[in-house]
A and B are shown apart, each in its own frame.
Chain A
Amino acid sequence: MSAAQQAPLVALRGLTVAYGDDAPALSAIDLDIRAGERLALIGESGSGKSTLALAFADLLPASAKTAGTIEWEGTSPLGGRDIGFVFQNPAGSLDPVMAVGRQVAEVARTHLGLSWPDALARACDLFGRVGLPDPDTLVHAFPHQLSGGQKQRVALAAAIAARPKLLIADEATSALDTIVQAEIVALIRRLAAEDGMTLLFVSHDIALAAELADRIAVLRGGRLMELGPTRQVIGRPQNSYTRSLIAAHIGLDSPPLFAAANMSAPANG
């Protein structure tokens, strides 16, 4: 784990975020992201994963009240160029009346200063890299003509279009089948290795996080429950909540949940 020795790319100290007058969505979080590492953020719905991801990218809504500090190594990054963000809801982050290729090209054009034809060519190339079939045709498609997983890949392509230093992926593969998911995971690894990209990977799939990440952070109710190298968090979890998450995972070797109980029912249908 070469990342371990490196200086933190960004350091959070005592970050607290509250929306309106509700209980804080994040309470006093201390967390470093090291340059070049792959950090996974897991936890149940509403635990504050997206809030934390948005805080790193300085994308929190104006209504959020924050306390604590976020310190970047060197100059503060520029959202969109230095930080790529894949939003949790890919359909919502795509413009429904603009061809998807243009949307990706737009990013490349603004941040890399490419001409339109070059930007479109880059969009095509990116579509290929994220595993979209038939990129030359798909760049002209509109979001509603794509399947859920295809939209998610377009969003990923847009996020990496400007070759960001830090890629934040909020549930970026949750709508993908396992084959493409594995490809995307491989792609993200390659990007991380080749371009030295750092990755913050938000997921509720603990198994996926375990496959991809160097370190795992477990959130619950806005608090950091556990943080450590993947092997340790999964293999020897210290926290009882982490243990329950691991136990609740339904894998290929899990016993049938309920189907067995009503296996006999269809006979009288």
Chain B
Amino acid sequence: MGKHLLTVESLSKRFHSGGRAVAAADALSFHIDAAETLALAGPSGSGKSTVARLLLRLIEPDAGSIAFEGDDWLALQGNALRARRARMQMVFQDPLAAFNPRATVARVLDDPLRIRRIAPRSERPARIAELLERVGLSPNLAGRTVHEVSGGQRQRVAIARAIATKPSLIVLDEAVSALDVSVRGKILELLADLQRTDGIAYLFISHDLGLVRAFAHRVAILDGGRLTEEGDARAVIDAPRSAVGKALVAATPRLHRLTGQDAS
């Protein structure tokens, strides 16, 4: 422990619905270092979002431990937990659902600054403008509601909110899968920049193995709540050993078969 930014040991979570139990996380163990990107891949329903919600303490595990920045993360409660939440943030898949439909961009960014007392009221407008500029948005957007900006802009606002509290880990739950290729490329570039400058680590949840291979350092593949394979992202995806890994890779659509030219 202590060595890694985040260490997860035998984390388990079962859901009960309709009298049947689903093991959404089954004795999971993994770790993430500072400034590292660990991708979490796996079929739909394999428990990726459950892991994200467990890490963020949105739901409580049945068993296991999480050490984050040297703390026993699961032991934190109430005010202590709320204060430490600043260090671990999340970007949701559907940015429209992740914001209060009534909120303006300014309010979305004001909340973390106010709640974590990062800046006094008088300085906050300047800080909000600064955050918007950091994610490549015009400060003029501050007055719009989240409905009035495009999907790509909205996802940038989500990233701005996530970095407002200077976290060391951001969980990205399918954060770029709903974006089109040009916007996606720019968002990934922004994330990589933030990692370089601020040393932020990412848990990058995605079912797009091409993306995982290009963006992550390491990958962990989940299946039915269990970790089936883990290792260097390119090594694993180029030559998966587990059955799920092989199936996921085999099912990935390949464009270059049709273009007749190989990019590599």
- Given known A140-B18, A255-B214, contact A266–B36 (CB-CB < 8 A): yes
Q: Given contacts A254-B210, A266-B36, is CB(A147)–CB(B255) below 8 Å?
A: no
Report A219-266 residues with CB < 8 Å from chain B CB: 230-231, 234-235, 244-246, 248-259, 261-263, 265-266
Partner of A259, one of B181, B215, B249, B253: B215
Hey, which chain B residues are within 8 Å of A261, CB to CB?
Answer: 192, 196
Smallest CB–CB gap between A246 and chain B, Å?
Answer: 6
Q: In the complex the two chains form, is B262's CB within 8 Å of A45's CB?
A: no
Instruction: Check A265 against B195 for contact (C-beta < 8 Å).
Output: yes
Number of A-B contacts (CB under 8 A): 189
A224 CB, nearest partner CB in chain B, Å: 17
A-chain residues with CB within 8 Å of residue B189 when the two chains form the complex: 257-258
Q: Compute how far the CA of A254 lies from the CA of B264 in the bound complex, rounded to whole angstroms.
A: 7
Residues 207-264 (chain B) with a chain A CB within 8 angstroms: 207-211, 213-217, 233-234, 237, 244, 247-249, 251-256, 258-260, 262-264
Interface residue stretch chosen among A10-18, A73-81, A120-128, A172-180? A172-180
Q: Is the CB of A89 within 8 A of B96?
A: yes
Q: Is the CB of A45 within 8 A of B183?
A: yes
Q: Which residue in A45, A148, A181, A230 is a CB contact (below 8 Å) of B49?
A: A148
A 77-90 to B, binary, CB cutoff 8 A, 1 in contact else 0: 00000000000010
Judged by a CB distance under 8 angstroms, whether A31 is at the interface is no
- In the complex, are the beta carbons of A256 and B213 less than 8 A apart? yes
Q: How distant is the Cα of A151 from the Cα of B184 in the complex, in angstroms?
A: 23
A91 at interface, CB cutoff 8 A: yes
Q: In the complex the two chains form, is A259's CB within 8 Å of B255's CB?
A: no
Chain A residues whose CB sits within 8 angstroms of the CB of B196 once the complex forms: 261-262, 265
Q: A91-B97, A150-B44 are known contacts. Are A174 and B178 too (CB-CB below 8 A)?
A: yes
User: B56 an interface residue at 8 Å Cβ cutoff?
Assistant: no
> If A210-B255, A254-B263, A265-B195 touch, does A44 touch B44 (CB 8 Å cutoff)?
no
Given A150-B44, A177-B44, A179-B43, decide whether A265 and B216 contact each other with a Cβ distance below 8 A: no
Give chain B's interface residue range (CB within 8 Å of chain A): 35 or more
Instruction: Considering the complex, give the chain B residue whose CB is closest to the CB of A133.
Output: B45
A208 to B253: give the CA distance in the assembly, Å: 6
Q: Is the CB of B253 within 8 A of A45?
A: no
Q: B185 on the interface (CB 8 Å rule)?
A: yes
A269-B33 in contact (CB<8A): yes
Contacts of A256 in B (CB 8 A): 213-215, 234
Residues of A near B179 (CB, < 8 A) are 45, 204
* Whole-angstrom CA separation of A89 from B174 in the bound complex: 14
* A91, A177, A208, A256, most chain B CB atoms within 10 A: A177
Which single residue of chain B is at the shortest CB-CB distance from A137?
A: B18
B102 contacts the other chain (Cβ, under 8 Å)?
no
Bound: A248/B96 CA distance, A: 25
Contact of B207 among A134, A145, A176, A268 (CB under 8 A): A176
CB of B43 within 8 A of CB of A177, answer yes
The chain B residue sitting closest to A211, CB to CB, is B253
CB pair A269 B253 closer than 8 Å = no
- Encode B23-41 as 1/0 by CB contact (under 8 A) with A: 0000000000111110000
Interface bits A131-144 vs B (CB < 8 Å: 1, else 0): 00110011011000
For B104, what are the chain A residues with a Cβ–Cβ distance below 8 Å? none
- Report the separation of the CA atoms of residues A205 and B96 in the bound assembly, to the nearest whole angstrom: 20
Residues of A within 8 A of B42 (CB): 177
When C-beta atoms are compared, the residue in chain B nearest to A183 turns out to be B251
Q: Decide yes or no: A145 and B15 within 8 Å by CB, A175-B177, A253-B264, A265-B199 being known contacts.
A: yes
A68 at interface by CB-CB < 8 Å: no
In angstroms, how far is the closest chain A Cβ from the Cβ of B21? 11
Q: How far is A114 from B152 in the complex, measured between Cα atoms in Å? A: 43
Residue contact A253 to B258, C-beta cutoff 8 Å = no
* CB-based contact A147/B237 at 8 Å: no
B210 near A250: Cβ-Cβ < 8 Å: yes
Interface residues of B (CB under 8 A from A): 5, 15, 17-20, 33-37, 42-46, 49, 93-94, 96-97, 150-152, 174, 177-185, 188-189, 192, 195-196, 199, 201, 207-211, 213-217, 233-234, 237, 244, 247-249, 251-256, 258-260, 262-264
A-B contact pairs, 15 of them (CB 8 A): A44-B181, A140-B17, A176-B207, A206-B181, A234-B259, A235-B260, A245-B181, A250-B210, A252-B249, A252-B254, A253-B262, A255-B263, A256-B234, A257-B188, A259-B217
Further pairs besides A231-B258, A234-B255: 8, Cβ < 8 Å: A148-B44, A150-B44, A179-B247, A249-B255, A252-B254, A256-B234, A257-B192, A269-B5
Interface residues of A (CB under 8 A from B): 43-46, 89, 91-92, 133-134, 137-138, 140-141, 145, 147-150, 171, 174-182, 204-208, 210-211, 230-231, 234-235, 244-246, 248-259, 261-263, 265-266, 268-269
